[in-house]
Structure 1
C-alpha cells in the first residue's frame, strides 16, 4: 500500500525550520527534489497551490 503526504512550502517551513527565514526553506527544497524525497505538484482546484 502506498501513501502520499502533501504539504505547502510554508507548512514544511513551520515543521522543519520555524526559527529561520522562509527563504532558507525555499532554497533547500530544490536540492531535496533532486535527491528524491520531495517532489512538487500544482493543485488546480486549490487555486493553483503548489504542494
Structure 2
C-alpha cells in the first residue's frame, strides 16, 4: 500500500485519497516530494497519482 501523505511534516491524509501539489509522500520511511501528478517511490519508480474515493 501507499504511505501516508504528509505536508510540512504533519500528517494530512492517506495517499489513497486525492493528492495535490506541494504534498509529500512517505514511502518506506522515506520522504519524497513530487512537483506534478507524478511521485517517486522508494525504489525510484514513477507512478501516476490517481484520485480515489
Task: Please confirm whether the aligned pair reaches a TM-score higher than 0.5, indicating the same fold.
Answer: no
More strand by share: 2
Largest Rg, 1 or 2: 1
What TM-score do you get using the length of structure 2 for normalisation? 0.22
Structure having greater relative contact order (Cα 8 Å, sep ≥ 6):
1
More helix by share: 1
